[in-house]
Amino acid sequence: MSLRTIENQESNLKNIDVILSERESFEHCGPSHLTNIDWTNPDHRRSVAACLVQGVYIVERDRQENRQSSEALAPPWWKFFQFDLHCELIDDADSCIFGAIYKSKHPPSPHTPSYVVAFRGTLIKGNAFSRDLEHDIHIIKNGLHQTSRFEIAMQAIKNLVGSQTSNSNIWLTGHSLGSAMALLAGKRMARTGIFLDSYLFNPPFFSAPLENIKDPNIKHGIRIASSFLTAGLAVAAKIKNANQQRNNMPEDSFLALAGWVPCLYVNPMDHICSEYIGYFEHRKKMEEIGAGGIERLATQHSISGVFLNAIGKESHEPLHLLPSANLTINLTPAVDFRDAHGIHQWWRYDQHLENRVYN
């Protein structure tokens, strides 16, 4: 290999580093137009929440790259919106920063958050990747609640909620893996009667990718068959549980979530989260054809969960089972999967967004 070739490769790597740094810089890609936040405006709330999640990504990247003081790129992502970094949430295994709690400097109001608990998603660069990947696998296996990272997050949220007055407004937010953390924490709190405003970007929904089926009749037919199968298995499992005087997943536990309406932000070109679109729309269609009761029962369960319960094996509730949601769909054509799954889309002002409320 010639010296010139080596020099060209080094130059290309430097250019890549510059591009990545620009994507991490608030000055280059942040929503600097949001100088006056209207906390009653859902677009402003979405943008601020997404930026605070980005702040967690970048504070971990700052740690990895040893960027300190004036070289650190993370602080503008929260300081621009008048927040302080209250504390970092650190993984007990690899010491990476997976979350943060921000404290607002805004005057208290019904719509202004006092604190925001934010979680980043998987980082493919740096030494956090392997640990993040472990948690991605835990999501697929419905075992995120068993991880030490989630326990750290849950304890921090409980401590924060317990230390505040009833007038305090605490938000949960996250992206991808981080949205799964926030979703699970929000469900835990909702089951205790505490409903936290939640802004969940590209939340994982792992199932057969039915949204990729172009024929609506085939897609709807598969969903109907799945609902009847799930409901049937759920009834059989319920009868068996009644006979054995046990119930692994009380219906009251699911119904307790009905008053909590998390905000979900999904992109139809992102196969990780796009199934939420069909999940909620199918429930609406089942109501229209008079099968709402079957769908309400099916919504509380997954096929794999009720099957495992029926044969006496332990199962855990999938994250995506929700009775209510405020769903925002980004209909802007994405360049590729990275674009469709990225956090950057959620603070941009030029996106074509569609909002649907399900409760």
The pLDDT tens digits for 145-167 are 999 999 999 999 999 999 987 66
Higher pLDDT, 318 or 239: 318
Torsion angle defined by CA atoms of residues 131, 133, 136 and 141, in that order, rounded to the nearest 10 degrees? -90
- The DSSP string of 1-60 is --HHHHHHHHHHHHHHHHHHHHHH-HHHHS-TT--S--TT-HHHHHHHHHHHHHHHHHHH
Structure tokens at 25: 């810089």
Among 2-11, 47-56, 105-114, whose mean pLDDT is lowest? 2-11
Higher pLDDT, 247 or 98: 98
With 80 as the cut, is the pLDDT of residue 11 above it? no
Beta strand spans in the chain (E): 83-90, 97-104, 115-119, 170-175, 197-201, 263-266, 325-330, 353-358
Structure tokens at 282: 């199918």
With 80 as the cut, is the pLDDT of residue 352 above it? yes
With 60 as the cut, is the pLDDT of residue 6 above it? no
pLDDT of residue 197: 96
With 60 as the cut, is the pLDDT of residue 284 above it? yes
pLDDT of residue 232: 45
8 Å CB contact between 342 and 336: no
Most confidently predicted of 39-53, 219-233, 244-258, 281-295: 39-53
pLDDT of residue 21: 64
Higher pLDDT, 354 or 16: 354
Residue 107 is classified by DSSP as: P
pLDDT of residue 286: 58
Query: Chain-centre distance of CA 79, in angstroms?
Result: 23
The domain segmentation of the chain, as residue ranges, is 42-358
Residue 344 is classified by DSSP as: G
Among 22-26, 39-43, 183-187, 212-216, whose mean pLDDT is lowest? 212-216
Structure tokens at 280: 């909620």
Largest CA distance in the chain: 78
pLDDT of residue 250: 47
- In this prediction, residues 279-288 reach a mean pLDDT of 72
pLDDT of residue 279: 86
pLDDT of residue 210: 53
With 50 as the cut, is the pLDDT of residue 15 above it? no
Instruction: Please count the other Cβ atoms lying within 10 Å of the Cβ belonging to residue 290.
Output: 8
Average pLDDT over the chain, rounded to an integer:
82
Residue 266 is classified by DSSP as: E
Name the pLDDT band for 258 (thresholds 50, 70, 90). confident
pLDDT of residue 300: 56
Say how many Å lie between the first and final Cα of the chain, rounded. 63
Task: Give the class (CATH, top level) of 42-358.
Answer: alpha beta
Among 18-32, 67-81, 203-217, 221-235, whose mean pLDDT is lowest? 221-235
pLDDT of residue 22: 77
Torsion angle defined by CA atoms of residues 312, 313, 314 and 318, in that order, rounded to the nearest 10 degrees? -100
Query: Which is nearest to 101 in space by CA: 86, 79, 114, 120?
Result: 86
Q: b vs e for 55-78, b when ≥16 Cβ sit within 10 Å of the residue's Cβ?
A: bbbbbbbbbebebeeeebbbbbbb
**Residue 297 one-letter amino acid:** L
| 155 CB-near residues (< 8 Å, 6+ apart) | none
Residue that the structure tokens 């980004």 belong to: 330
pLDDT of residue 285: 62
